[in-house]
Structure formats: structure tokens, C-alpha cells
Homo-oligomer: A and B are copies of this chain.
Amino acid sequence: MSGKLYIIPIPISETDPKKVLSEYTINTANRLRFFVVEKIKTSRQFLRKIDKSFPIDESVFYELNKHNQYAFEDEVIQKLLQGNDVGLMSESGYPGIADPGSGVVKKAHQKNINVVSLIGPSSIFLALATSGLNGQGFVFNGYLPKTESERIKKIKSLNQQVKQNDFAQIFIETPYRNQAMFNDLIKHSFDETLLTIAEDITGKQEWIKTKPIKEWRKQKKLLPKIPCVFILGC
């Protein structure tokens, strides 16, 4: 009988794992010895954090990243088919959501291997829940285009879409570009569009506000260079 592939969410801020992971999530991660990870070093640190005596040296880590072109995926599937449970972890939040990991999950489904998701934090989802914006219909857009003209075009298009069907439009940005994103958003959005900015969710500097664009324009908001989620809505 095949093992199970466990999707293990990781804390998204500097915080006690017990704040953001269920006891069952922590216990399950603790009993696994095979892991598919984004980076071995931080995954080991996480396991030591949930259990100081975690047997790192008796565990096997497969690092999935762009450099090895996910070469280990097939080996992981073999381990699962041989009956071993395997944990999948990214650097932050849910693997496979705005993070690598979905490739190995897809392959697991192809082999009829059971995939189980454990409970933990997702910055996208927590930002939406906290925003007060439309949770009956929403879009996660990932990153907006990098080139200025394309980004502005996209911001304008998202504003139009919000007006048309009221779906919340969620997106993220690399931290050092947060301020530029904010400046573009207040410049190229409708006065009445609501903008949520969610900084350092679950962390010590957590700061989440929803206001109309015209109010954001009045204050010179300085965005820190830390992970942020942006949402447009109505």
C-alpha cells in the first residue's frame, strides 16, 4: 500500500509554530522521515523548532528547486509507492500555493497516491479573511507584471474587473518593490476602489488595513520591505 503525501504548511512569520500550526500538523511533521522541500537548510531549522530532538540525520530530504529542475520528483514518487509517508514543505505558508511544490502533488495523483493537506497559515487566505472584501468570489493573480507599462495596464484592468463583478483581486509583490506597487496602485485606481494592504501577517509587525483609494492617497504610507499581500475590491 502506498504512503501518503502530506502537505505541511510552514509559519509565514517569525512566530511560535503553535500560534499558526495545529497540534496535529506539528505531530504529523514530527513523525515523518522523508521530506520534499524547497530548501533543506530552512526545513531542518523548522523541524528542530517543533522538536529539539528531531532526528535530522535519520531523515531524507529532497530539495526541489529551479536549479535541479525538480529531478527528484520521480524518486519521491517511488518512496511513496514503496509505502513511505512523505512531507512536502516550502519556505513559507502552503507548498504549491504561490510557492513551488504542485508538480510532485500532480504526479502523486497520477499514481493514485493519497495527498493530505495539514492546517497552517496562508498569507493570501488570511489577508482575504481579514480584508472584509468579497470572499464569495475572488482571484489570486500571483505577481503583477514587472515592466511599468504592463503593471499599470494590469492595475487598471483589475479596477475594471472589480467594478464589473465585485470579485476581490489578490496579488503579491517582492518586498523591495512594495512601495513602488503602492504608489502605482493609488495613482492608477478608481477613487472608490477598496485596497487592502496586509503586512507581516501573523507576525509581530502585523498590520492590515482596508480603505478606499482616495483615503490611501491622503496619507503618505511607507511600506516596509517585508512580505505584503495586496487586495483590490469594492
Contacts and interface: CB of A to CB of B under 8 A. Distances in A.
Given A18-B24, A135-B102, A139-B139, A125 B94 contact: yes
Nearest to A140: B138
- Pick from A9, A94, A136, A206 the residue with the most CB of B within 10 Å: A136
B142 A136 contact: yes
Interface string A95-109: 111110111011111
Contacts of A87: none
Residue among A121, A128, A208 having the largest count of chain B Cβ atoms under 10 Å: A128
B24 A129 contact: no
A210 interface: yes
Contacts of A141: 137
Contact of A18 (B22, B94, B115, B135): B22
Contact of A109 (B7, B18, B132): B132
A211 interface: yes
Contact of A132 (B108, B133, B167, B208): B108
Of the candidates A96, A108, A129, A130, the one having the most CB atoms from chain B within 10 angstroms of its own CB is A129
Interface residues of A, number: 58
Contact of A22 (B19, B130, B206, B208): B19
A202 B119 contact: yes
A150 interface: no
24 contacts: A7-B130, A18-B22, A18-B24, A20-B22, A21-B22, A22-B23, A22-B119, A94-B125, A96-B129, A97-B135, A105-B131, A106-B133, A116-B130, A116-B206, A116-B208, A117-B126, A117-B130, A119-B120, A119-B126, A122-B125, A136-B142, A137-B140, A138-B139, A139-B167
Interface of A: 7, 9, 16, 18-24, 94-99, 101-103, 105-109, 112, 114-117, 119-122, 125-126, 128-142, 167, 201-202, 206, 208-211
